[in-house]
Structure 1
Amino acid sequence: MATEVKVPTLGESVTEATVGEFLKQPGDAVAADEPIMSLETDKVAVEAPSPVAGVIESFKVEVGETVEVGAVIAVIAEGAAPAATNGEQAGRAEQQREEGNEKREDGGNASSDDGSVTMSPAVRRAVIEHGVDPTTIKGSGKDGRLTKEDVVAAAKAKGSDGSASTSAPAPAAAPAPSAKGERREERVKMTRMRQTIAKRLKGAQEEAALLTTFNDCDMTAVIEARNAYKDMFAKKHGIKLGFMSFFAKAAALALKDVPAVNAQIDGDEIVYHDYVDLSVAVSAPNGLVVPVVRSIDQMSFAEIELAIADYGKRAKEGSLKMEDMAGGTFTISNGGVFGSLMSTPIINPPQSAVLGLHRIEDRPVAVNGEVVIRPMMYLALSYDHRIIDGREAVTALKIMKEAIEDPMRMLIDL
């Protein structure tokens, strides 16, 4: 008996997705609810599971194809996988695998004549995330193709002994070196998420009256507090005490005092919020995503750190859901983790402001008439001047600065 696999419900107002990659091949056995392919929406990548246990008979779509909710994307033959001794069934499965591979424009990964490696999207993301050299890894897939598991295993082996794994046999012959001065290009179709990011950011620039105000912040007090309590904090709450929870609390304090920075425009009305739903920009394989920590003004430091850590982990795994990124009244983006000294972040519509954090570096500053070296960070608040006046933006950023420089303010609501 054959069962059709259909595109699952993707989320409110989301009606279509793009086929990202096949996680299985025709002829492979699958369990009920086991993912067989990934689908990319405007915001997240979701997995399409098999509704029954059986064998993949065929795929009805190709990588890169746009599919609507409810469309048939695969057919599953219910029952056990064909026995390896059954020549006719095994041969048919092998033929289906070959046909499935041919349909995938960027589906596999293999070494080309010039020594380069063509990788599937999942493998390419894993290579970038783990920082390994794909040409040094022996693939376990068909025809020696790399799989995501091969990359993860190589990364673990490298991390355990400080070098690449030596268990894999060396290639029979070294690839021919590229000609000196040879120039290459690679043309890759933008993912649906990247296209949406591009449209939203460009739309924010065209619609909002963007302006950025800057300040610098002495991180001494926060660093001292963190060093003093980080061990007890981790022991009690099971999570490290980071800087983000301090800035989240400081932002909540400022947004309560300057509500326009936490508001948004809806038609000819301004919507003010008496709560703070914080969008935290985190890096995902397909681009930047902004999951929302809700009612952060009511949360403890530990609750904030746990929520942000969970979102960061799920972003890397590609397991964020549509509802995780819905809403949000204010955004914090931390470019400092990548070494940024200063930037002008773009607001996340329909929000009206975003706080940009940057790297901490020792700089000479004047304190009580003396030049001293302090750990300083530049802060940037980009805002929509249609709704937020300069005085309000500067005041809000100043409150955040003062709260970080004197964390006691956050405890006594000053």
Structure 2
Amino acid sequence: MRPLPVARERRHTLYFLEGAKAFAPVFLDTEVDMERVWRHRAAAAEEGRRYSVVSYVLHAGARVVADHPQANSAIGGRLLPRTVTYDSTSAKLALDRRLGGRRVVLAAVLPGLERAGLEEIQRQVDHYRDGDPDLMDEFANLRALHKLPVPIGRALFRRATRSLTARAARTGTFAVTSLGHRAVDGFHSVGGTTITLGVGRVVDRPVVRDGVVTVAPVMRLNLAFDHRVIDGAEAADVLTEIKERLEGFPGTPEGGEDRTAAATGAGSTDR
């Protein structure tokens, strides 16, 4: 047995984690009653439309983050720290994919989500989930990065993510990562943005409604925030408002998405 170099397909993960050491993460979590989402999913499935759980989280998260400018900000600089607040909300979505035959974590950036309806969000998610990372133009720079010697690749990665104004296009303004397709109730992750949402599985649990105990689909939702940018009270507001949006989905009609809100039934377990 002898040590081997880290697979080049995972080099971007190492470069990212080196930069993530600068974060000052604090972690929050809550439980979300997904009954309204489950009903909407089921009704949509009857009409031939498939929505993943993560798309609902992206939909709710983007709108809440847009309402909290500090959560939609980033920080940079060591000697003279500076922050920037973004005009639009884009999400970095972590993907479990294969690249060069190796299972890796890839990141897709979905722009302008504060204006996107659920249908458009799902279309973007499907584009990355169904595409081949070995061929997609969106990952061409990443494939090229893997071919470079490690010192050069590391330096270029740092340079590409150093600019605060350009960072949103490269890493998003908030991040979402899900392990709910496995037996994972909850987890915390630092996604390189001020706010990172960790999505666990949806399982039937006892809940109290109007003083009566009943069974409902419940999801653990975790939030990690960078304490250098925002404080705990506002991060708690963000998590609470995302929870409320999901539990009240669809809420305010957007693009006709309320048509199936009163439907009943259970949705697919596909994330």
CA displacement 1:38-80 (0-9 Å, x = unmatched): xxxxxxxxxxxxxxxxxxxxxxxxxxxxxxxxxxxxxxxxxxx
Q: Which residue of 2 aligns with 1:190?
A: 6
CA distance in 2, matches of 1:275, 1:308: 18
SS at match of 2:28: strand
Q: Alignment partner for residue 342 of structure 1, among 186, 198, 203?
A: 186
SS at match of 2:125: helix
CA distance in 2, matches of 1:263, 1:323: 25
Q: Alignment partner for residue 139 of structure 2, among 321, 339, 354?
A: 321
* Residues 240-279 of structure 1: pairs in structure 2 closer than 5 A: 240-267=50-77, 268-279=81-92
Q: 1:248 to 1:323 in 2, by over 3 A?
A: farther
CA distance in 2, matches of 1:258, 1:374: 30
CA distance in 1, matches of 2:132, 2:109: 12
Q: 1:280 to 1:315 in 2, by over 3 A?
A: farther
Q: 1:318 to 1:355 in 2, by over 3 A?
A: farther
CA distance in 1, matches of 2:141, 2:116: 20
Contact 2:133–2:139 at 8 Å: present in 1 too?
A: no
Q: Alignment partner for residue 198 of structure 2, among 333, 352, 356?
A: 356
Give the Å deviation of 1:314. Answer: 2.3
SS at match of 1:208: coil
Higher normalized contact order (CA 8 Å, seq sep 6+, divided by chain length): 2
Q: Alignment partner for residue 398 of structure 1, among 211, 234, 240?
A: 240
Amino acid at match of 1:272: T
Give the Å deviation of 1:304. Answer: 1.1
Q: 1:358 to 1:186 in 2, by over 3 A?
A: farther
CA displacement 1:346-380 (0-9 Å, x = unmatched): 222xx212101010111112222222111111000
Contact 1:253–1:410 at 8 Å: present in 2 too?
A: no
- Identical-residue share of aligned pairs (%): 25
CA displacement 1:172-216 (0-9 Å, x = unmatched): xxxxxxxxxxxxx68553223423312422431x31111111010
SS at match of 1:363: strand
Give the Å deviation of 1:224. Answer: 0.5
CA distance in 2, matches of 1:346, 1:187: 28
Q: Alignment partner for residue 230 of structure 1, among 45, 50, 53?
A: 45
CA distance in 2, matches of 1:397, 1:226: 22
* Residues 40-189 of structure 1: pairs in structure 2 closer than 5 A: 188-189=4-5
Normalising to structure 1: TM-score of the pair?
0.50
RMSD: 2.2
SS at match of 1:400: helix
CA distance in 1, matches of 2:95, 2:122: 14
Q: Which residue of 2 aligns with 1:294?
A: 111
Contact 2:178–2:200 at 8 Å: present in 1 too?
A: yes
CA displacement 1:105-141 (0-9 Å, x = unmatched): xxxxxxxxxxxxxxxxxxxxxxxxxxxxxxxxxxxxx
Amino acid at match of 1:190: V
Amino acid at match of 1:223: W
SS at match of 1:195: helix
Amino acid at match of 1:259: P
Amino acid at match of 1:344: H
Q: 1:338 to 1:188 in 2, by over 3 A?
A: farther
Q: Which residue of 2 aligns with 1:218?
A: 33
Contact 1:212–1:381 at 8 Å: present in 2 too?
A: yes
Q: 1:372 to 1:399 in 2, by over 3 A?
A: same
**Matching of residue 389 in structure 1 with residue 231 in structure 2:** yes
CA distance in 2, matches of 1:378, 1:218: 9
Q: 1:323 to 1:279 in 2, by over 3 A?
A: farther
Contact 1:222–1:407 at 8 Å: present in 2 too?
A: yes
SS at match of 2:5: coil
Q: Which residue of 2 aligns with 1:312?
A: 129
Contact 1:365–1:373 at 8 Å: present in 2 too?
A: yes
CA distance in 2, matches of 1:321, 1:190: 20
SS at match of 1:358: strand
Q: Which residue of 1 aligns with 2:120?
A: 303
Give the Å deviation of 1:384. Answer: 0.4
Runs of 5+ unmatched residues, structure 1? 1-184, 235-239
Q: Which residue of 1 aligns with 2:160?
A: none
Give the Å deviation of 1:388. Answer: 1.2
Give the Å deviation of 1:327. Answer: 3.9
Normalising to structure 2: TM-score of the pair?
0.74
CA distance in 2, matches of 1:259, 1:233: 37
CA distance in 1, matches of 2:141, 2:32: 34
CA distance in 2, matches of 1:301, 1:186: 49
CA distance in 2, matches of 1:244, 1:407: 14
